[in-house]
Amino acid sequence: MDERRNPIQRLAHQLSRLPGIGEKTASRLAFHIIKMPEAYVRDLAQALLDVKTQVRHCSRCCNLTAVDPCVLCSDTRRRNDLLCVVERPSDIVAIERGRDFRGRYHVLHGALSPLDGIGPNDLKIPELLRRLADDAVKEVIMATDPDVEGDATALYLARLIRPLGIKVTRLAHGIPVGSELEYVDHATIQKALDNRREL
């Protein structure tokens, strides 16, 4: 079948370029989409175009948003003295799932990585420092990833922020809730031992 002439193969090919979707899954999705209501397919196509045309960075927190400032920055019920710094917009979604954190966010859009040529000015660090100068922030929680780059970024920022008289904290490392010790990696167990608390 000629891929250029066949809309099904063309759709499958486009879908297979998405992460985690192989050729067979893409083909199955394409055949499924043909059978779905036309209204749904139109909505999906429109949603795809909308994210590219409407979504931009929030001028305050650098999160992805369609309105500026974003709903999290303009929510008056959130605390202004607590700021959570994350690497990616999707990290905010993960934290918001918990519904416990009621402070503000700042998205760095990456982590420091000298080997990849990513320095402070490639991240939203100038925006963060400008915010801390203006804002009433009393504590910054570093929620960057628990890997080499995330840890280095947290340490780098802590050194810049502490002199401003702002407390800097880091998300705790330890055994995930609900996990079985047997399957937890040794680096996590070591962190959990180091950070053990008296009962």
The contact set with its own copies (CB under 8 A) reads 1-2, 5-8, 10-11, 14-15, 17-20, 25, 27-34, 38, 40-52, 54-55, 64-67, 71-72, 88-90, 93, 96
How far apart are CB 43 and its own copies at their closest, in Å? 6
For the residues of 88-122, what is the DSSP string, one character each?
Answer: SHHHHHHHHHH----SEEEE-SS--BGGGTB-GGG
How far apart are CB 122 and its own copies at their closest, in Å? 15
Say how many residues make up the chain: 199
In the bound state with its own copies, the residue whose beta carbon lies nearer, of 35 and 197, is: 35
How far apart are CB 78 and its own copies at their closest, in Å? 12
In the bound state with its own copies, the residue whose beta carbon lies nearer, of 40 and 190, is: 40
Which sign does the torsion angle of CA 148, 152, 100, 90 carry?
Answer: negative
Which of 168, 173, 179 lies closest to 147, judged by CA? 173
In the bound state with its own copies, the residue whose beta carbon lies nearer, of 90 and 190, is: 90
Per the CB < 8 A criterion, the answer to whether 9 and 1 are in contact is: yes
How far apart are CB 18 and its own copies at their closest, in Å? 6
User: Beta partners for 105?
Assistant: 84
Cα separation values, 158 from 9, 73, 170, Å: 51, 23, 9
In the bound state with its own copies, the residue whose beta carbon lies nearer, of 18 and 148, is: 18
How far apart are CB 199 and its own copies at their closest, in Å? 33
In the bound state with its own copies, the residue whose beta carbon lies nearer, of 27 and 169, is: 27
Distance CA 13, CA 6 (A): 11
